[in-house]
Structure 1
Amino acid sequence: MPVTELAWIPSGAPGPIQSALIEACREGIEAQNGWVAKHASSTLPLGPPAVRGAAMYQQREDRSIGLLTAHWDSPAQHKECIASQENMQAMKEIAAHSVAADIQFCHIEGVWMFPVERLEAGLFLSILRISVAEGKREQVEKIWNGGAKGLLRDAAGGHEHTAGWRIEREKGKEDQDEFVVVGVWADEGALSRFAQGNPAWDEAWKSVALEIDFKTYGRIY
């Protein structure tokens, strides 16, 4: 089952992400790329990191937060890479420049959310995380496919957004499911207007959403 990795890494120094952390994450991405070439070439594309959805973003609301993305054939494959010598060495460097205890990551099931054209678009990225009670997946997907997807596409200037379910439940929210929506925006103005509130979007989700988290990002590697 294909999955998308999302990993949030807080900088260990105050203020925007330091160059040392960016470099450590870059080396980590390259180390994983090397592992893929050796051990996963039959299931993942080879080439520069972007061909497997691997990139680093900086959150715009809190510029001390980095986001790493990547595509994997399964959570088990990612776990195997994490345990590799190459990755463990890279993680030591990342830990040295981050708040390691606060690093969070998850997988989104059944979808690769960062195709090359999305990574290379040079546009702002948004991640919507919609928390719902257990047993609401069918209702959520009906809302998404029944109008919310098109509403978001139109607000984003024609850019399609991709959605999927989070596999690992967030600590403290073990009784909730999370629907994650990723996409890019045509311009900063459109993104800012949506972030300030969209009545049609809010109306679509009010019957099912327990919480909607909306964050925006700019790519830095």
Structure 2
Amino acid sequence: MAVTELAWLTAASGVLTNEAKEATNQALIVQDEWTALNAPDLPKDRDGRGVALFQQVEDPAICLLTAHWDSVAQHGVWLESPENKKVFPGLGDYYELEKTSLFHLENIWLFNSSRVPGEISLLESPVISVRKTTILAEKRQEFEKQWEEVKGLLEDFAKPYLVKFAWRIEKTDPGLEEFVLTCGWPSVERHQEWAKDTSFEKYASVLLPFRQSQDVKHYQRVL
């Protein structure tokens, strides 16, 4: 089962420094080499593996590290590898590692490049939004049905940028599911205009009744 890793890091200095970016890049070089030897079915290039570092717009101390894996288990093998255990602690000079959190999205490689001419992938977007919405687990199927009815409204508004979405695998509450919606944008301001669009009222009226909680943040790729 294809999965996408989303890992949040907190910069130790309160802002992401060039030194932190370079240290992250060096750690990813080790991961590049490890995947080439131990996960040969994964794409060889970072973009193909969805590997990127994003910085949050709302709080520049927060960074989002992403990657594609064939499974959660495969990612776990990397996390437990001697190579990762050697390089990860070194990032503690630049990040508050005790605050690191991560989870996986099911059945998707979120950051795949588009094969449609003119479409702009998440990795190529100047800004991406990440919206995490929790709903009651018993309402998941009903939500999915309603989402299929209205997602085209957002997709049309966001064009040529892509809209990608998936469910979180790891549960924090057995009674809840978390739906993660990502979208590329030319700017944060363009995303904010979505709420003023004539089609937004229909979109929101269908989905809002399912929402238990919601968090939305914007990110810019820095690596």
Q: TM-score, normalised by structure 2?
A: 0.88
Residue 118 of structure 2 corresponds to none
Q: 1:44 is paired with a residue of what secondary structure?
A: coil
Residue 216 of structure 1 corresponds to 218
1:53 to 43, 50, 62: 50
Residue 42 of structure 2 corresponds to 44
Instruction: Encode CA deviations 1:76-118: one digit per residue, 9 max, x unaligned.
Output: 0000011112211221122232111111100000000001352
Long gaps (5+) in structure 2:
115-120
State the number of aligned residues.
215
Long gaps (5+) in structure 1:
none
In structure 2, C-alpha distance between the alignment counterparts of 1:183 and 1:35, rounded to whole Å: 30
In structure 1, C-alpha distance between the alignment counterparts of 2:180 and 2:162, rounded to whole Å: 14
Q: 1:163 is paired with a residue of what secondary structure?
A: strand
Kept in 1, the 8 Å contact 2:106–2:168? The answer is yes
Kept in 2, the 8 Å contact 1:128–1:213? The answer is yes
Q: 1:52 is paired with a residue of what secondary structure?
A: coil
Kept in 2, the 8 Å contact 1:157–1:190? The answer is no
1:92 to 89, 92, 97: 89
Residue 143 of structure 1 corresponds to 146
In structure 2, C-alpha distance between the alignment counterparts of 1:201 and 1:27, rounded to whole Å: 43
In structure 2, C-alpha distance between the alignment counterparts of 1:20 and 1:200, rounded to whole Å: 46
Residue 129 of structure 1 corresponds to 132
Residue 30 of structure 2 corresponds to 31
Q: TM-score, normalised by structure 1?
A: 0.89
Residue 190 of structure 2 corresponds to 190
Residue 175 of structure 2 corresponds to 175
Kept in 1, the 8 Å contact 2:122–2:184? The answer is no
Q: 1:51 is paired with a residue of what secondary structure?
A: coil
